A = this chain, B = another copy of it.
Amino acid sequence: MHPTNDPALRSFVPVSPECHFPIQNLPYGVFRWKGESDRHVGVAIGDFVLDLGCLVEAGLLDDVDRADILFTAEDLGPFMAAGREVWSAARSAISQLLRDDEPTLRDNPILRRRALVPLTEVEMLLPVNIGDYTDFYASREHATNVGSMFRGPDKALMPNWLHLPIAYHGRASSIVISGVNFHRPVGQSNRSTAAHPTFGPTQALDFELELGFLIGPGNPLGKPIPVAEAADHVFGCVLVNDWSARDIQQWEYMPLGPFLGKNFCTSISPWVVPMLALEPFRVAGPPQDPLPLPYLRSSGDWAFNIELEAWLQPAGSPEPERICRTNARHLYWNICQQVAHHTVNGCNLRTGDLLATGTVSGPDPGSYGCLLELTWNGGKPLRLRSGAIRAYLEDGDGLTLTGWCQGSGYRVGFGSVTGSVLPALG
């Protein structure tokens, strides 16, 4: 166990048991003071963000190789590219500085005021330049449910699905940080299988509850990453909402896959939970039968016991309501397999690339990670406590994803990713 994961550790910064950012987490993010433009790299602790640039200036991160460059950069890219040894050293140093028995920062009120910024006073930004975004389809339950709806239960899973982690390239330009709202997309659909498609605002706007892994060091073009080395290339994890317009998607996706049904907006949570913080929550994934080809055989436990929830706040309702509760441990294909598969043909990953899991669905209906499944393509609308009925998202609806690993008396959490639906333009 990495010493920074010790459940007994406590910080001098107050952290409640339900708070997502105890000293065992230490997720990285990029922020600016509200109303200012300078970007800072920081770590969340309790209700504060620790400004790593301030620690560098104060000479408190001198044990971290090139900390002066890595933590005064525009974003997390240089730090993420630096690799595991640097990640470990930085985590150790930051953990030490935040401990309740460590006076350096605790007893320096001037530095504390400068370095510990209330989260309410900052605006979070994209943590890194995401060059390429790949979306997998790693949940067997999700693939089976979608296949059942579109092709019937007999042909629910394609013949390839159990042999390889199916994926497609998503759109990098339209990835936004939590809190950015978007207009309901318009486009073509043809749900009635009429002779001609119709055009207008989507009538089947959905969310997708996903996790996303961010790549640390990449690989050169032509040089695959073996499955046993894959973990060295993964820096951390965020929540992803891959907003989807099901009617647009269904009309366009044959034969080249999703395009306008997905690329209008993808939201990610701002705090990157480092893989090191997730170590204690690694669990066995579902058994894989048939046995994958050798290049996909990972060893050790690479599923993650992460509780995941989706909360819907219907337009006009005073509060959100939980509509899905699932867990990342259900995912069939793990991140090491995804990295090995993605690069086996020589494809290069770059620092900051996002590999999302696809919708995380569990075995029972309350654990389905999108409205397509929760309402069975609108056929069984959700009846919310507020009285609202939802087959798909309506204008003004807000959707929040959250997730955490439950430790003993603390939570290693992801915070949340949220977004609201604005009316279609035009």
Q: A residues engaging B (CB < 8 A)?
A: 131-132, 137, 147, 158-160, 163-164, 166-174, 176, 182-183, 185-188, 190, 196-197, 199, 218, 221-224, 245, 248, 251-260, 263-265, 290, 293-295, 341-342, 344-350, 353, 425-426
Contacts and interface: CB of A to CB of B under 8 A. Distances in A.
Given A173-B347, A258-B256, A260-B345, A196 B132 contact: no
A290 B190 CA distance: 15
A131 B263 CA distance: 14
B293 A163 contact: no
B160 A252 contact: yes
A128 to B, nearest CB: 14
A160 B265 contact: no
Nearest to A255: B158
A260 B295 contact: no
A132 to B, nearest CB: 5
A345 B185 contact: yes
B222 A182 contact: yes
A221 B176 contact: yes
Given A197-B163, A345-B263, A346-B185, A256 B168 contact: yes
Nearest to A164: B188
A167 B197 contact: no
B347 A264 contact: yes
Contacts of A350: 173
19 contacts: A131-B131, A159-B190, A160-B188, A160-B190, A163-B196, A164-B188, A166-B259, A168-B168, A169-B169, A173-B221, A183-B222, A185-B345, A186-B344, A186-B345, A224-B425, A248-B345, A253-B256, A253-B257, A260-B342
Contact of A137 (B171, B256, B258): B256
A226 to B, nearest CB: 10
Given A168-B168, A169-B263, 19 more contacts: A137-B256, A160-B197, A160-B252, A164-B197, A166-B252, A167-B256, A167-B259, A169-B171, A186-B224, A187-B345, A196-B290, A197-B293, A199-B293, A221-B265, A256-B257, A257-B257, A260-B342, A264-B347, A346-B425
Given A169-B170, A196-B163, A295-B199, A344 B260 contact: yes
Nearest to A290: B196
A264 B174 contact: no
A245 B345 CA distance: 10
A259 B163 contact: no
A173 B350 CA distance: 7
Contacts of A132: 171-173
A347 B221 contact: no
A131 B293 CA distance: 33
Contacts of A255: 147, 158, 166, 253, 257
A260 B341 contact: yes
